[in-house]
Amino acid sequence: MRSVRHGARKNRKAPGLDMAPLMDMIFILLIFFIVTTSFVKESGVTINRPIAQSAVTHEKTNMVIGVTKAGHIYIEGQVVDVRSVRARMERFLAEIPNGSVVIAADTQSYSGKVIQVLDACRLAGIKNLSVATRKKDD
C-alpha cells in the first residue's frame, strides 16, 4: 500500500530561485543611475589653459567651449562660428536649465574672441559661466 505522502512528494518541483524580482531591481537601479548622471559635453580640442594662482576646481560642469590660439571655437568637437554660439547656448539651456558652461581659452588666443564667446553665452541666458585656468605647479 502506497502512502499519500509519497505521491505528493514525487509531484513537487525542486526549489529554485525566482529571477524576475532580481531583474526588476537591476533595471530600476540602471534607470536611477542613467537619470541622475550628469554628462559633460567636452569642447573636443586640446587647449593650453593659462595659469592663475586663484584657480578653483568646479565639480559641476555641463558644457565646455574651447577657443584655440588660432581663434577657432569648438563646441562638442565641432568648429562653430561665433555668431552661432548664442543659438547653441540657448538650445543647451533649454535642455539643461541652470547648466554651467566653462570657456577653455588657449593662453595665446585673442581676448576679443573670448569676450565675444562670453557675451554670446550671457546673452543666451547662461548664469553659471566661468573661464578655465590651471594652477601653477609648485
Q: Which residues of the chain fall short of a pLDDT of 70?
A: 1-12, 38-56, 58-59, 137-138
What domains can be seen in the chain, in order of their start residue? 39-138 (3.30.420.270)
DSSP H helical ranges for 17-107:
20-36, 85-95
Model confidence over 90-126: pLDDT tens digits? Answer: 999 998 888 888 888 888 888 889 999 999 999 999 9
